[in-house]
Chain A
């Protein structure tokens, strides 16, 4: 018994001897981002590498804020991501529900088309989409242009369709027998049961919007409507960039995501693996 527990201990030590350095290696860039965000530019580019944060975080932030109204771009990003996530969850879950639960003519075709769009590279779609939204509709630099075009989200539809398909149909039949309306079944039976999946999807969608670069870059070039990643990216072309400021911006963009992910991780894993094991 004793020797057995010692083997287990040794094995776990050996395992950690490999895992811990790997984890640290992965965390290094994030750590260096924080370090650079709190140093003067001259220190960032000096030959000797600093591994410990300095004290210039606030100053760097002020420089960033002076160069472009970074707080405003964060607000734009948050508003876009929140509305996009909420609207997309509502739309994709309703579409997924309809495709999972109702038999109608052409259902298979609709599913294939949605699946088909996933095989198209985004870069094939984005130019025609841009021309349509910017030139034909004249919607550059508007909330609608930032939020609505990405809403069509085949991944979300298929994800929710799968979630609803896996639920036992007897539940919905029982509710129908109870005289519950289709809308109420969706609202009070299907959605509550899909909670882990909805949480996972929300995180994916929020991250998707928060990190989206290409579309906002194309559609909103006005300072007042820029999202934070686009605004930050716009600094790279300038000659006299405050790299400390850029790093502060990066920290501010990354931190909320890490926090969300750590808090929601449980849901996230539950949602992704739900149904894998009965």
Chain B
């Protein structure tokens, strides 16, 4: 039905290779989110699935059909654009029905589908308006409505909410989640927004410079990243990386000396012992760092900046050094810039990366 499978899909614009052999299997009904830094190829990959960009190499299947060279209109997909892309000279009804009308769909069925989409998205009272007479949120609902009337197997979204203000974004996010639940269709969604990715996705695909770095559930990417890039990209504020050096390995635990933090020693679970002296990077999420009293596996640092957000505060230290550190602190406290705090590294939460960024398990 609505499964999507990419096999060695790559894309070049002239001499520039933008997507490097992507392999990905998306299940029918799954909600998959593409994330990655700007320019990494998220939109390009999505547009290749849509058929708006040709596929230079590799193959693409939607359902059990090979669609590598099929026209966008015949792929059983629909797409919602960041710019909404509503036809400015048509009112909402005409916008919703345009594709169906042009393809000779029966008038009765067309108006039935338009009515259905309008009621799902609460557009009933706006049907006679032109796009310029709608608010941003209403425009985006029309754009989503236009994709619904096609009854596609796969919905594609390219940063659909990034033009909306924060409150509306939350509202529309919930609406999209509800839609996914109601329609049960496959959805592929590109976003910059961590929260959108974490809350909407069944699985997240992390892209970097045209490579798929990791595919997994939001929780898996958060707790068990495959490499330093994914670890740094997922989670906000981003994970701290402390430079260290391997020492002894006892009982499945690797001792690591944090050379940037007063040679504190942390013992992290690791199956394969590292040769003594191997440079490593120790990953520690801000929310896992513990402010406490001195002891083994702790170090002292000076706070540069404190951000109070209410329930949580972020303590920033070493902001001007090569090794900045962010510590999230729950509840009410009195830490101020200039204060010294003792930071503890819980060994079970820390993860290790080799110098080249690969994960050490």
Give me the interface of A with B, judged by CB distance under 8 Å.
168, 170-171, 173-181, 184, 188-189, 192-193
Contacts and interface: CB of A to CB of B under 8 A. Distances in A.
Contacts of A189: 87
Nearest to A170: B85
Interface string B79-120: 101010101110000000011001100000000000000000
B20 to A, nearest CB: 23
Given A170-B81, A171-B87, A189-B87, A176 B98 contact: no
B56 to A, nearest CB: 14
Contacts of A174: 79, 81, 85, 87, 146
Nearest to B81: A170
B317 interface: no
A192 B89 contact: yes
A181 B99 CA distance: 10
Contact of B73 (A168, A170, A178, A188): A178
B52 A175 contact: no
Given A180-B73, A193-B88, A175 B98 contact: yes
B325 to A, nearest CB: 42
Instruction: Please name the 8 residue pairs, one residue from A and one from B, whose CB atoms are nearest each other, closest first.
Output: A179-B73, A178-B99, A170-B85, A174-B85, A180-B102, A170-B81, A192-B89, A176-B72
A176 B74 CA distance: 10
A179 B76 CA distance: 10
A177 B102 contact: no
Interface in B296-315: none
A192 B72 CA distance: 23
A175 B73 CA distance: 9
Contacts of B249: none
10 contacts: A171-B85, A173-B79, A173-B81, A177-B50, A177-B51, A177-B52, A177-B77, A178-B98, A179-B102, A193-B88
B83 A188 contact: no
Nearest to B103: A179
Contacts of B87: 171, 174-175, 189
Nearest to B94: A188
A148 B150 CA distance: 45
Count class of interface residues, chain B: 20 to 34
Nearest to B87: A189
Given A179-B103, A189-B87, 14 more contacts: A173-B52, A173-B79, A173-B85, A174-B81, A174-B146, A176-B71, A177-B73, A177-B79, A179-B72, A179-B74, A179-B102, A180-B73, A188-B102, A193-B88
A168 B83 contact: yes
Contact of A170 (B77, B78, B83, B102): B83
Contact of B102 (A171, A173, A181): A181
Contacts of A188: 98, 102
Nearest to A168: B83
Nearest to B156: A177
Max chain B C-beta neighbours (<10 A), residue from A174, A175, A189, A192: A174
Given A174-B79, A177-B79, A180-B73, A193 B102 contact: no
Given A174-B79, A175-B98, A188-B98, A180 B85 contact: no
Nearest to B82: A170
A173 B98 CA distance: 14
Contact of A184 (B51, B79, B85, B102): B102
A188 B150 CA distance: 19
A274 to B, nearest CB: 13
B4 to A, nearest CB: 15
Contacts of A192: 89
A229 to B, nearest CB: 38
A192 B85 CA distance: 15
Nearest to A191: B89
Contacts of A193: 88-89
A178 B143 CA distance: 12
Contacts of A181: 102
A174 B88 CA distance: 12
Contacts of B79: 173-174, 177
A189 B87 CA distance: 7
A173 to B, nearest CB: 5
Contacts of B150: 178-179
A168 B85 contact: yes
A101 to B, nearest CB: 13
